[in-house]
Each structure stands twice: as structure tokens, then as C-alpha cells.
Chains A and B, each alone.
Chain A
Amino acid sequence: MKEKIIRKPQLGTWLEGLRKEYEIWAPVKKNGLVLFHPIESAKEIHFDFSNTKKTAKDLFFPQSEVLFSFRGGEIEKEADMVLEKPRIILAIRPCDAKSLALLDKVFDSEDYQDPYYVERRKGTLLLGMACTHPQTSCFCTSMRSGPFEKTSLDLLMVDLGDDKYLVEAVTQAGKDLMGKDGSFEDVQEKDRERLAKVKKQAEEKIKSKVVIEGLEEKLDKIFDSPFWDRVHQRCLGCAICTYLCSTCHCFALLDEGVNSREQRVRSWDSCMFPDFTLEASGHNPRISNRERMRQRVMHKFNYFVKNFGETACVGCGRCIQNCPVNIDIREIIEEIENEQPLPS
């Protein structure tokens, strides 16, 4: 059966069975933050959240990753590219799952495969949790995603209320996970009615609408417009929006170490940092925050579209919620729509 019901008390039993084969990562609340952690029991899972503070990209493209260590020109140890144990990410939101599809275009394309990323993707199953309570800052429905979207997921779970989850298999692997346990019940007609109701309510809750039709072309026309002088004014130039973004993926390769032992590390970098484009000569093509803000918007809504055919944004709203000066990408896009192109 493609769909099943599992009751909340049985969830723990099912996960306990899965834990024998898989390392399970789930949202855990600590210090006021909900983040993905490996768990020992279902009791640790925090289900009452809108979205995790940091994104799912961390689990495939970690903030820092040692590629190899070396001393005196000789490589001492190379990174293990194999996961110790296959993983399950439980309760990942559909927007975060969609973001992995976008990251796949960069890290796992026809021409280039990043072995570290690919290995993690291959060894991980994604068990999604539909958003029954989207936030006011969510705009996934405008970004080819949605609160019940199934892209990249192996399973989608929906909280129907009344202590029940509806679980739908999206891939064969997901189906196999369900088949391994007797905790599941058949779906009743009233469950399907409830599902339809909950889905409709969730989609209606997403009031933020962002229009991306024609955005790419518009951006081409306003590259030199004074619009960008206004947009960047209060930006601090920190990395919050880039580090907490589901799809941002810039990184730096750095040699770091102490006491003559060094490591080559791949770690996140941010296009909002002043030295992101600083060249060895001292020249910096993106000399001020204005150019960097412009490049960020262009990358997401123009360059990525040109290179990969899709906008590099899933509408998760983390940048809006976390920006210290409340820079709102929805506002920026609306202003872009209204901006008059300069006469050519």
C-alpha cells in the first residue's frame, strides 16, 4: 500500500526498529533552537516547530569539512568519503527537501560530481513532515514548492491531529521502510477527508505571494539602476542570510593548521563578506555592500536560472526571520517588479 496510518505512540516503536540499520537525525530543541541532531529515542524529537534554525543542507554540505591532512608536503590522511551508517532525516520540511534538488544541480550534475556531497545523498533517506502550520514569512508556493510538496522525499508524513500521522511512500526505498514494521494501519475514508482538509488549510495559510514570472528578464534590465543604492543601505554585510539559506552553497578551500600539521578544509563562505571577491592584487570587483547585495539577488533570481533553469530559492523564509535589520526578499522582489529600467 502506498499510504498508511501510524499512531503517535507507535512512532517510537517504528523508529526503534529503523535505528538498528540507520542513524536517525531529527529535530531536537536545545537552548531555544530547533536543530537536526542524531537521536537515540523518539522521546528526544521535538515535533512542535515550524522549521529548524539551520537548514538541511548542513547534513550534506557541512559548514566545515576536512578533505585531507598533510605535513611537510606529504598527505597524511584523506577524508573518509563513506558514511559509517546509512542515515534517515526525519521530519524534514518539503522546502528543505526541495532545496536539496536545487543543490543537486550544483553538486551532482552531469559534468561534475562532488564526491563528499554525493556519498551523503546516496546514503540518506528523507522522511518529510508536511507543514500544517506554515509561517507568515513562508512563500514556498510561489517558488515551485509547497507545504505538502514531495520533491526529493522518500516518505511524506502528515499530522492529521487526533494522534495520527498519514504516511505516504514517495519512492520504493520509502515504501520499504514502512514495510519493515507492523505499527502501520490502513487508511480510512475519513483519514483521506481529513488529509484534504488539512492540506487546503495549510495552502491557504500561505498568504505571501511572490511573482517570479519575468523576474529574470527584469533583473537583466536594471543591473545599473540606482535601485541597488536604496536596497542595500541598512544591510550589515554579515552572513546570516547566506548561512541560514537552504540553497546558498558558496564555499572556500582553505589550508589551516597548527604546529606544522595542516588540513585542507572546505568551509562555507559568504558572498556578503567584503573579502569574498578580494583578489591577490588588492583589487575587489565587488567593492561595496551595494555590489554584493546586487550579486546575491542576481545569483538567486537570474544567474542560477540561466545556468540551471530554476530560481535558487524555496521560499523557506529563514532570511526574513533572521535578518538583524529585517531585509525582506519579498519586498525586494516586489520593488524589482516596479522598478523602471534605465533608458538604453
Chain B
Amino acid sequence: MPENEKQLREVAEKLLIDKKVDLIIGYEKGTLPLRTRPTFIREPEETKRLVWNSRCENNLSLYLKTVKEKVGIVAKGCDSRSIVGLIKESQVKREDIFIIGVPCPGIIDRKKIEDVLDGRELLEGVESDSQILLKAEGFEETLDQDKLLHASCRSCRHRNPVLSDTLVGKEISQPQTDEYSDVEGFASQQDNERWAYFNDETSRCIRCYACRNVCPACYCPQCFVDQSLPTWFDRTPHLSDTLIFHIIRTLHTAGRCVDCGACSRVCPMNVELRMLNKKTEKDVKELYGYEAGKDLEELPPMATFKIDDPQEFIK
């Protein structure tokens, strides 16, 4: 991946020089070891800040909703699907964006690195080929990137961007993945076991709304949790309200979530609710044959219907 970084910077620089775009949204090096972060570049010489590696975890399409300039955006497979969703829902115009597609073999999960380090602070990380060297006090270990991939990346079926104006590097191979084995395994548990799991996870939630704010699909001017006339769900983190917040957010993103994993990555309390989104994604696919972010023409599944939609659950 790092070899594509040079090409990425050249592409971005040329776009700014030729004034094809006013703004480049990409990734730059962060202030902590192995961190990257979103960056906004308007001057051609600043494009040397751009990086591309296995740690570019944010879904940058999030920012398309708020910028008013013509934008060149760095997009991985999942990001490009979010962009398709945003175009389809009229949140951004196709002609206002230039998609710099980057084929992505997977992004590592910072929380997995924390587990490996077991309380030690990461002092330095060096990426090479398909490995990562981790250095902490009295600790040094090289791991395969494969072992550190986020769960969303391990089940990813869209490593190459589905929509792009240019591609940085060549398309990469797409292995078969069994996306829903986690969901199926979980669903086979008893009702009360599953209930206990979700309550346990949400007991840690502090309602910071980072999961909602980082999601490109969540762009309502006023979120349902912030409504006060009527107040649907109370603000304080009562277990019942908190679990309901997550369930309803899953419902609102049904058929729109592309499983980029951003929500689970940003959670400071390690709340793992990806299972909910994955379940709804599976249902939408089974019931309506729809996959989010693939096709610009297909209508969003929850905003349309077919006369013969499945209804065996209705009396």
C-alpha cells in the first residue's frame, strides 16, 4: 500500500493545480503512533501531507455533506459505497466530487493493537509490506496485518471502489468471505442470552454519539434522540433508552449501512454493536435483494416497495 502513496499525492496535486477541485479530503499522519486522521488540503504543495496505509480508518465521505466546494475525496471500497448512498439520497451531487479511488486490502483495528499490548503504551509502530512492528516499553513484536484487521475488513467484499474517477494503484483481488457467519452464530443463541449480551454492551455506552456523528449515513438536521417535542427517548443513559437508541439507529440506517466499521472503531467504551447492523444488512439482502452503495440507479429499499414483498409474518 505505501507504494501507492506517491501516486496519490501526485494525483491530488495535479487536481489542485489544474483547478479541477478546490479541496482535497484525504488522510494525514496523526500525532500518536500509527494514527492517521482526516485532512483538508487546498494548496497544491500541501499534498505532500497525504498518506495512504493500513491505518487510514476514517470514512471520509462523512465530510461531503458539509463542504460547499468542489471536492477531491480519497475513497476506499466501503467509502465509495457510502458516496454512492449519499448521491442517491441527494446529499451530494455527482458532478461536485472527484473520487480518488484506492483499492484497500483492509484497515487494522486499533483496539486489537491495544489488546496485544495489554496495557502498555504504544511508543512506535512501523508498517512494512503486510506486517506491523509494534514497540512499547520492554516490548517489541511484529505481527501480520491480517491478524489485526477490523472485523468489517475481514468480511469485506468490496476491496475495490465501486465508483471512482481515477484509481490509485491497480485493482486488487477480492477473496470470498462469509460475511454473516457471526450473525448466524449469534442468532442461534437463546432469546435471553442475546438480550443479556446487548444489555451488557449498552451498559457501557455513555451516549457521546460518536458512532452516530462519524456515520456518513446519519445526516438528519435533528436526530430523533435530540427531539424534545415530543421527547421520544430520554437523554440520560438509562439502559432501556440507550439500547433503544442503538436499535433505532440501526433501523434508520437499514439498507444504507455499508459496514465501514467507523462506528465500532470510534467508540471509546468498546461497545460492540456491529452485530445489529450486520443483522439488518443480512435481512435487507435476503428479503429485498438489495446491497447498499452498489448501484446509483437502484432505489433505496426502505423508501420503495414491491407488490409481492414477503409477508409471511403478517397475519
Cβ of B26 to closest chain A Cβ, rounded Å: 11
- B118 (CB) vs chain A CBs: closest residue: A48
Cβ of B252 to closest chain A Cβ, rounded Å: 17
User: Mind listing 23 A-B residue pairs with CB under 8 Å?
Assistant: A32-B111, A50-B119, A64-B238, A133-B137, A135-B121, A136-B123, A234-B37, A234-B38, A234-B39, A236-B214, A238-B209, A239-B206, A243-B206, A252-B235, A254-B236, A256-B234, A256-B235, A256-B238, A275-B226, A324-B265, A326-B35, A328-B31, A330-B31
Chain B binding site: helix, strand, loop or mixed by DSSP?
loop
Whether B237 lies near A64 (C-beta < 8 A) is: yes
Chain A residues contacting B214 (CB-CB under 8 Å) are 236, 238, 324
A324-B214, A326-B36, A326-B37 are known contacts; what are 8 more A-B pairs with Cβ within 8 Å? A54-B206, A64-B236, A64-B238, A236-B213, A238-B212, A239-B209, A256-B231, A269-B235
Chain B residues contacting A151 (CB-CB under 8 Å) are none
- A238 (CB) vs chain B CBs: closest residue: B210
Cβ of B269 to closest chain A Cβ, rounded Å: 7
Cβ of A250 to closest chain B Cβ, rounded Å: 13
Whether A237 lies near B213 (C-beta < 8 A) is: yes
Whether B111 lies near A234 (C-beta < 8 A) is: no
B115 within 8 A of A: yes
Interface string of B241-285 (1 = CB under 8 A from A): 000000000000000000000000110111000000000000000
Chain A residues contacting B238 (CB-CB under 8 Å) are 64, 256
Whether A324 lies near B236 (C-beta < 8 A) is: no
Interface residues of A in 272-331 (CB under 8 A from B): 273-275, 320-322, 324-328, 330-331
| Cβ contact of A240, chosen from B62, B119, B234, B268, cutoff 8 A | B268
Chain A residues contacting B62 (CB-CB under 8 Å) are 236
Whether A321 lies near B32 (C-beta < 8 A) is: yes
Interface residues of A in 53-73 (CB under 8 A from B): 53-54, 63-64
Whether B38 lies near A32 (C-beta < 8 A) is: no
Whether A238 lies near B208 (C-beta < 8 A) is: yes
- A133 (CB) vs chain B CBs: closest residue: B137
Determine the distance from Cα of A133 to Cα of B117 in the docked complex, in whole angstroms. Answer: 15
Chain A residues contacting B82 (CB-CB under 8 Å) are none
**9 cross-chain pairs, A with B, having the tightest CB-CB distances, nearest first:** A324-B266, A64-B236, A238-B210, A326-B37, A256-B234, A326-B30, A236-B213, A239-B208, A267-B236
Chain A residues contacting B58 (CB-CB under 8 Å) are 324-325
Whether B114 lies near A32 (C-beta < 8 A) is: yes
Interface string of B188-214 (1 = CB under 8 A from A): 000000000000000010111110111
Q: How many residues of B contact A (CB 8 A)?
A: 42
Whether B206 lies near A32 (C-beta < 8 A) is: no
With known contacts A31-B270, A236-B214, A331–B37 Cβ distance under 8 A:
no
Interface residues of B in 22-36 (CB under 8 A from A): 30-33, 35-36
Chain B residues contacting A135 (CB-CB under 8 Å) are 121
- B234 (CB) vs chain A CBs: closest residue: A256
Interface residues of A in 17-52 (CB under 8 A from B): 29, 31-34, 48-50
B interface residues (Cβ-Cβ under 8 A, vs A): 30-33, 35-40, 58, 62-63, 111, 114-115, 119, 121, 123, 137, 204, 206-210, 212-214, 222, 226, 231, 234-238, 265-266, 268-270
Chain A residues contacting B35 (CB-CB under 8 Å) are 326
- A244 (CB) vs chain B CBs: closest residue: B268
Interface string of A238-258 (1 = CB under 8 A from B): 111001100000001010100
Cβ of B66 to closest chain A Cβ, rounded Å: 8
Determine the distance from Cα of A41 to Cα of B40 in the docked complex, in whole angstroms. Answer: 51
Q: Which of A32, A49, A321 has the most CB of B within 10 A?
A: A32
Q: Which of B40, B206, B226, B231 has the most CB of A within 10 A?
A: B206
Determine the distance from Cα of A49 to Cα of B209 in the docked complex, in whole angstroms. Answer: 26
Determine the distance from Cα of A82 to Cα of B36 in the docked complex, in whole angstroms. Answer: 47
A103 within 8 A of B: no
With known contacts A33-B204, A63-B236, A320-B32, A236–B210 Cβ distance under 8 A:
yes
Cβ of B246 to closest chain A Cβ, rounded Å: 15
Whether B226 lies near A136 (C-beta < 8 A) is: no
Whether B235 lies near A136 (C-beta < 8 A) is: no
A142 within 8 A of B: no
Whether A53 lies near B269 (C-beta < 8 A) is: yes
Chain B residues contacting A330 (CB-CB under 8 Å) are 31
Determine the distance from Cα of A187 to Cα of B62 in the docked complex, in whole angstroms. Answer: 58
Whether B31 lies near A326 (C-beta < 8 A) is: yes
Determine the distance from Cα of A274 to Cα of B207 in the docked complex, in whole angstroms. Answer: 14
Chain A residues contacting B222 (CB-CB under 8 Å) are 275
Whether B235 lies near A267 (C-beta < 8 A) is: yes
Determine the distance from Cα of A321 to Cα of B213 in the docked complex, in whole angstroms. Answer: 18
Chain A residues contacting B121 (CB-CB under 8 Å) are 50, 133, 135-136
